[in-house]
């Protein structure tokens, strides 16, 4: 299990959700992770490893212990999601269609 492997499996999710803004993905995000064979424990182990690497780098670079950051609880995620859903669509991110504009 490594970052490159996880990245490869995240790519289809990233394209579907971010690049193509497929609204169906938002309705069932768990199915995306199941299809990509991504498990939460993998994400936890990789992010823990990355944080450890960053702390090591900080200690080596600054000869000091990295300051502890606050743990994010996610308690505000419903509020953030609700605000995002109320936001008007961005015309710059309009979905592409198969037909070219008439000139």
Domain residue ranges of the chain, discontinuous segments joined by +: 1-65
The pLDDT value recorded for residue 100 is 42
Predicted confidence pLDDT, tens digits, the chain (103 residues): 688 898 899 888 887 777 666 677 767 778 888 888 988 899 889 989 998 999 999 999 999 998 887 777 888 888 888 887 887 766 665 555 444 444 3
Q: Which residues of 83-97 are buried (b: 16+ CB within 10 A; e: fewer)?
A: eeeeeeeeeeeeeee
> 43: number of CA atoms within 13 Å, CB side?
8
- pTM higher than 0.85, yes or no? no
The pLDDT value recorded for residue 93 is 58
The pLDDT value recorded for residue 91 is 66
């Amino acid at each position: 299990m490594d970052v490159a492997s996880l990245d490869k499996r995240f790519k289809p999710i990233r394209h579907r959700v971010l690049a193509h803004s497929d609204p169906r993905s938002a309705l069932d995000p768990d199915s995306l992770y199941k299809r990509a064979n991504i498990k939460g424990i993998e994400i936890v182990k990789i992010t823990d490893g990355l944080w450890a690497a960053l702390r090591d780098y900080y200690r080596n670079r600054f000869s000091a212990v990295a300051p502890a950051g606050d743990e994010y609880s996610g308690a505000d995620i419903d509020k953030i999601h609700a605000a995002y859903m109320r936001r008007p669509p961005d015309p710059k991110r309009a979905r592409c269609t198969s037909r070219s504009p008439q000139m």
